[in-house]
Structure 1
C-alpha cells in the first residue's frame, strides 16, 4: 500500500514489545500441541454442516428474509458504491480517502463483517442490482442468463478476480492514485456484468471475486443457514467450514488470499527493495506478486501430493486441504491490516460526519482531529494471536477432514506434510510481519 497512513499496518517489528523469537516459539508450540492432541484424541470426523446449535426465532427469520429488507440492503450497497465512485472521481476528503474506502474499508472490512453476519456482500452487491436491470432490458431470465454456467469453472473466476484486485492494490502503475483505482473498478464491473448477462445471477456466487471472498470467510461465521430448510441458525463455525466444497479453483483462490497479504509484507523488506531498485516498480511488483502466488500454490500442491502418497490411496489432496486454509488467510488479514482499518474508519467518520475534510489538512493546515492509533504492545499481541489462532483453527479443520477420508490405519502419517507446511507458513508469516 502506498499511502502514508497505511505505513502503520505492521507494528510488531523485531525490536518491538514482543520479540520475534518469542512469537516464533509461541506459534510453533501452539501448532505442535494442537496437532499432538488431535492425533491422540480425535479419530473420527466430528464436524458436519447439518449440525446446528439452535434456530433463530421465526420472527427474526421472517424479518431477515423479507423482500423489503433485501431490497433496502441492495439499495444501500448501491448507494455506498455511488459514494465511493464519487469520492474517487472528485477527490472529496483528500486524495487518499477514495483508495482507502476501497482497499481498507471495503476489502479489509469485509472480513469482520462476513465473520459476524455471514456472506454480507451477496446482500449488498451492487452488481446484482445492475444485472437485474440489464436482464430486464435484454428480456432474459436474470437467474438463468443465456447459457448454463459450466461447473468446471468452479472458483477459478474468483481466483483470477482476486489476483487482479491484489495487482491493482500492490503492483499496478500509479496504484495509489484514485484514477487507477477508478479505472480498475469500471473494468471489473464491465467484465462481471457481461459474464452475468451470459450465465445468469449464479455467476456472482463463484465469478465475483468479492462475493466469493465474503462467502468463504462467512463459512466460519457462527450465523448460518440450515442445509435442510435454509433457516437462519447459530452453529459451530467449524460445521460451517465443513460445508465448503472442494470445487476446481478453490485451492488457487485461497492461495491468492494468502499470497496477497504475504507479498504486501515482502515488498516492504529492505532486501526486496535493493534487489528490485533497477527494475521498474510495476514490473518488479507484478513479478513478485505472481511468484508469491505460485510459491504458495506449489507448497499446497507438494503437501497434498506427499499426503496422498503417504495415504497409499491418494485420498488426501490439496483440494481437500483448501477449506482448512481459510482461517489462516483470515488470521493474516487481521494481523496485517487491523491497525490501518482502525485509522481508516476514524478518517471516514471525520470527513463525512465531523469536519468534512481529512484531519491532517483542515484548520489552517494543522491537525484539528486526533486519530487514535493502536499501541505497539496491543498490535503485536493482535498480530501474533491472529496468525497463531488462524493456524491452530486450520490444523483442527484439516485434521477433521483428514480422518474422514484417510484409511483407518493411516490417519496420522499422511497429515505430517500438511502440518509441516502450516509450520512453514506460520514461521514465514510471523517473520514477514516482524521484518517489514
Structure 2
C-alpha cells in the first residue's frame, strides 16, 4: 500500500499488548515501524517458529485425513442447503432495490473521486478510501453478501446511461464476447491495479490514482460498448475479483433463483475453469505477497540506489511470475503423476481463492479497521466540523484489538485459508481423477501450498 497511507493510519501495533486506542496522525510519521498492516512481526507475541510449525502441521494433518477418509467428491456446483424466505429474494430482486444499490455505488464513486480531487481531509483520506475501505472492503462484503460489486458497479450504471443516450440495448454489443478471453482481462486489470498501488511513480499522491481511474473507466466503457454489459463480469477487474471471492460465500442462489444458504465449497466447485482464471488468482496472491516483500529490509537495501518505480515494477512482476511458475510446476507434476488425466491448473485454481482471502485478512485487517473508523468519523459522525481541519485529519482515538489478538487472527487466517484450499483441491482431484489414482497427483499442489503457507507466514513476521 502507499507508504504515507500506512504511516498515517496507525502506530506500531506489534508493540501493543492490551486493548488499545490509536491516534491517527494528520502529520504523517516517518518511521517504518509504524506500518499498520504488519502486526505479527518477529517481536510480536507469537514466535515465528510456532507459527510455521502450526501451519505445516495443520496442512499435513488435513491432507492426511482427506487421503484416508475422502475418496469420492462431496461438493456439488449450485447445490444449496436451505432456501431463505421468498420475501428476502423478492426484496433483493425488486427493481427499487437494484436501482438504489446502483445509485449508492455511483454516489460512493463520486465521493471517492471528489475526495481524491479536492484533497478533502488530506491525501491519506482519499487514498485510504480507495485502497483500503473499497479494495480491502470488497473481501468481507463479498463473503457476506455475494458478488456485491456487480450490484454497485458504477461502470455498469455509466454504461446503461450511455446506451440510453445511444438507444441501444446494454446487453448487446457490436460483436460477441470471445470465450477465449475468459478471465484474462481481469488478470490484466488486477495487475494494473497492483502496479498503481505498489509500484507507480509518486504513489503517495492522488494524481496517479485519478489518472488511472479515468483511463480504466474509459477502457471498460469502450469494451462494454463493443461486447455488451456481459463484459463486466470478467473484464472489470473489481467485479471479477468480487465474484471470485463471493464463490466462497455461504449466501448463494438455488436453481430457481431464490436466495439460499449453501456450503461455501459448493460455491467454489461452481467456478468455471475459464482461460486466465489461474492467472487471475495468481495475481491476487502475488499482489499481497509483494506488498510484504517491498517492506522487508533486504528489499530496501537491494533497491536503495535504484529508481523506485522501475524497481518495484520489476519486483511485482517477479513475484507474480514466481507464483505463476509455482502453480505451473505443480500442475505439470500433477499431470505427470496422473498420467495425463483431466485434472489441471484451471481445476486447481478455485482452491487458491480461500488462500487469497486468508492473505488479505492477515495483511490488511488492522489497517482496514482503522480506515473504516476514520471514514466513518469524517463522513458520518463529525464531518467538516469534527475531524477535518486545515486540509488534514485531526488526531482521533480509534479502537483496535490488541497485538496478541491481531497476531492470532493473522496466523489463523493464513493457515485456515490454506487448509480450506487443500479441502477444495482434494475434492476437485477425486472428482476428476480415476479412482485409485487421485492421491499422488495432489502431492505437487500440496507441496506448493506448504511453500505458500510458510512463505506467507515468514513475510508477515519479517515486515
Common topology (TM > 0.5):
yes
The equivalent residue for 2:273 is 246
The equivalent residue for 1:331 is 358
The equivalent residue for 2:37 is 9
The equivalent residue for 1:109 is 137
CA distance in 2 between counterparts of 1:358 and 1:29 reads: 53
1:24 paired with 2:52, answer yes
Q: 2:169 aligns with which of 141, 163, 182?
A: 141
1:203 paired with 2:231, answer yes
1:400 paired with 2:403, answer no
The equivalent residue for 1:35 is 63
CA distance in 1 between counterparts of 2:66 and 2:37 reads: 34
The equivalent residue for 2:251 is 223
CA distance in 2 between counterparts of 1:359 and 1:406 reads: 61
1:54 and 1:234 in contact (8 A); partners too: yes
CA distance in 2 between counterparts of 1:149 and 1:420 reads: 37
Specify the SS of the correspondent of 2:304: coil
The equivalent residue for 2:319 is 292
Please give the per-residue CA displacement for 1:154-173, whole angstroms capped at 9, x wherever unaligned.
00000000000000000000
CA distance in 2 between counterparts of 1:275 and 1:415 reads: 37
The equivalent residue for 2:309 is 282
Moved more, 162-171 or 351-360: 351-360
Give 5+ residue unaligned stretches, structure 1.
Answer: none
The equivalent residue for 1:180 is 208
2:78 and 2:253 in contact (8 A); partners too: no
1:43 and 1:403 in contact (8 A); partners too: yes
> What displacement does 1:87 show?
0.4
Q: TM-score, normalised by structure 2?
A: 0.92
Specify the SS of the correspondent of 1:274: helix
Moved more, 171-180 or 346-355: 346-355
1:263 and 1:292 in contact (8 A); partners too: yes
The equivalent residue for 1:79 is 107
Moved more, 88-97 or 149-158: 88-97
1:349 paired with 2:352, answer no
Give 5+ residue unaligned stretches, structure 2.
Answer: 10-34
Moved more, 205-214 or 405-414: 405-414
Q: TM-score, normalised by structure 1?
A: 0.97
Trace 1:132-171 onto structure 2 (pairs within 5 A). 132-171=160-199
Please give the per-residue CA displacement for 1:379-403, whole angstroms capped at 9, x wherever unaligned.
1001000000000000000000000
After the TM superposition, which segments of 4 or more aligned residues of structure 1 sit over 3 Å from their partners?
357-368
The equivalent residue for 2:338 is 311
Aligned residue pairs: how many?
Answer: 435
